[in-house]
Amino acid sequence: MPHSRTLKCSAKRSRSHLKSLLTLFVAVFVINACAAQALGDETFDLTFGAGGEASFAGTAFALQPDGKIVATGWHYTDPPAEGEFSVWRYNADGRRDVFFGNRGRVAISPTPFSDVAAAVAIQPDGKIVVAGYSYADSNPYNTLYLLLVRFHADGGLDHSFGQGGISLVQNPYTRTIKGLTIQPDGKIVVVGSGLRADVSYCNGAFMVARYTSTGQLDPTFGRGNNDHSPGIVLFYIANPPFTPCLIYYSELRSVSITPEGKILVGGSYLRDAPYRGYFVVAQLSRTGKLEFQKTYFDGRDESFDSGFSFLQKLPDGKILAIGTKVARFQANGELDPTFAPNAQLEVSSRWLINGRGAILPDGRIVHARTSDLVSTTNTLISVLSGDGIVLSHLVKPYVASIRAVIAQPDGKFIIISGMARRYLNITADITDKGE
C-alpha cells in the first residue's frame, strides 16, 4: 500500500508588514482547513473531542436526533467486585454531557449481583431504553434475568416503565440480551441467547422477546409458537450441517423492523468438536412466527466473536448484514449473487474479529474490523459502494477492538475503538502509522 501523505500547513514569513498581514490571513485560513484533515487521505474532524479524538465508555451506542451519543455498558465496581448497569451521554462534539445524570453518567444496580447493559435505543420522545441481563446469583452459569430499563432524557428513571423504571424477567430458558430495537408502535424487541429445554441435544437457542411500551412482556407475541412464556420466542439451528448436533453457543446480536413490520434478526452460533463459527440471519412475523432461517459458515474455527452485529432491510427489499464480513441477502435470506463481497462470506478468515459497520445516507457502507494475524494485528476500515465495491481502505496499527460504527445524517461517521474519531471520509488506500 502507498504510504500516508501528510498535509503540510505553513506560511512564509515576510519582511513587509503588509505581506505579514496577508501571510497571517492565509495562515489562519489554511489552519482552519487543516482542522478537517489528518494523515493523508484519512480525513477526520479535529473539532471532535480533543484534537480529533474522544474517550468514550461503553460497549453499545445510539445516536440521538440532536447528535448526542448515548453509550451503555458494564462498569466494574470494587468493592464490591460486581458490575453496575451504566449509561453515559456525550455531546455532539464528543465531550461528556455533564447535564445527563451525575455529570454525564447514570449507574444503577437492579440486583445484588452483576448487571450488564448490552444494548440501547432512543425513543421518538427522547426517552432512552437500555437492555441487558443480570445474574440471579454469584454463579454466572445459573439462570439470568432479562433486564430492561427506561430513562428520561435527563437520565432519571422513568417510573411509568416496568417497576420503577426497571423490568426484570426470569425464565429458565433465556440467557442474555445483546440487541434492541423499538417498533413504530412503541413496542420493544430484544434479541440474545437462550437454552433449549432438552439440554442434552442442541442446547443452544436463539432468543427473541417483545415488550409492551410499558415494560411488560407482550402476550400477543410468540403465543402458540413454543412452550415458553408469551412474549418470548426461542428457535434453534435448522438442519445443522453436521452430526451429531453439538451447539456450543447460539446468540442473536442484531435486530431491525422491516417496513412491513416483520422482525429481522442476525447473529451467530458456534458448533463444538471442533469449534466452527456460523453466521445466522432469520425473519419472524409480527406475531413471532419464524418465517425463514439461514446459516452460513463464517470461515473461522475457534470463533467466539463472529456473527452479524448490523442488519437492515434495504429499499429494494434486500437485506444488508455486517459483522466480521459484509453480506447481502435476498428477501428470503438466500445470498444475493450480484453482491461482490458474498463470494468471500464462507472463505477462510479466522484472522478477522470484532466486525462493526453502518450504512451512510448516500448508500455507502462503512466496515471496520480487526485482523489478528500471527505476526501483526491491525485495524481495517473500508468504505464500500452500495453494491459492495471497495472504494477506499485504511490499515491502522491495532490499539483496541472496534466497539461501534455510527453513521450520522450529515454523512460523517464515528468509529469507536480505544478512542472515538469522527470521519469526514476515507478516500484512498493508505496506511496510517499511528492511532
pLDDT in tens, 364-394: 999 998 877 656 788 889 999 999 999 888 8
CA 14 centroid distance within chain: 53
Say if residue 250 is in the same domain as residue 396: no
Task: Decide if pLDDT at 329 tops 50.
Answer: yes
Say if residue 398 is in the same domain as residue 289: no
Identify the CATH number of the domain in which residue 95 sits.
2.120.10
pLDDT in tens, 251-275: 899 999 999 999 999 998 877 666 6
Say if residue 19 is in the same domain as residue 168: no
Find the range with the poorest average confidence among 137-141, 191-195, 322-326.
137-141
Percentage of the chain beyond pLDDT 70 is 74
pLDDT in tens, 32-66: 333 333 333 568 899 999 989 999 999 999 999 99
Say if residue 385 is in the same domain as residue 417: no
Dist. CA 376–CA 392, nearest whole Å = 21
* Total domain count, the chain: 2
Contact 147, 166 (CB under 8 A): yes
What local confidence, expressed as pLDDT, does residue 335 receive? 94
Q: What are phi and psi of 295, to 5 degrees?
A: -125, 145
Dist. CA 424–CA 6, nearest whole Å = 16
Task: Decide if pLDDT at 148 tops 60.
Answer: yes
Q: How far apart are the first and last CA of the chain?
A: 17
> What's the grid cell of residue 380?
481495517
Say if residue 178 is in the same domain as residue 283: yes
Dist. CA 356–CA 368, nearest whole Å = 5
Mean pLDDT over the full length of the chain: 81
Say if residue 424 is in the same domain as residue 331: no
* DSSP result, 293-308: EEEEEEEEES-SS-SE
Say if residue 381 is in the same domain as residue 398: no
Say if residue 379 is in the same domain as residue 245: yes
Domain interval for residue 55: 45-360+374-390
Average pLDDT over residues 337-359: 82
Task: Decide if pLDDT at 225 tops 80.
Answer: no
Say if residue 144 is in the same domain as residue 59: yes
Say if residue 52 is in the same domain as residue 165: yes
Percentage of the chain beyond pLDDT 90 is 53
What local confidence, expressed as pLDDT, does residue 433 receive? 38
* DSSP result, 243-294: SS--EEEEEEEEEEE-TTS-EEEEEEEEETTTTEEEEEEEEE-TTS-EEEEE
Nearest to 145 by CA among 217, 50, 93: 217
Q: 300 vs 100, 221, 239, 243, 423, CA distance in Å? A: 42, 35, 20, 19, 30
Say if residue 11 is in the same domain as residue 72: no
Find the range with the poorest average confidence among 73-82, 261-270, 311-320, 355-364.
73-82
Say if residue 31 is in the same domain as residue 69: no
Q: Which residues contact 424 (CB under 8 A, 6 or more apart)?
A: 36, 43, 44, 45, 412
Of the two residues 340 and 5, the one the predictor is more confident about is 340
Owner of C-alpha cell 485482523: 371
pLDDT-derived band at 83 (thresholds 50, 70, 90) equals: low
Residue 160, Cβ neighbours under 10 Å: how many? Answer: 13
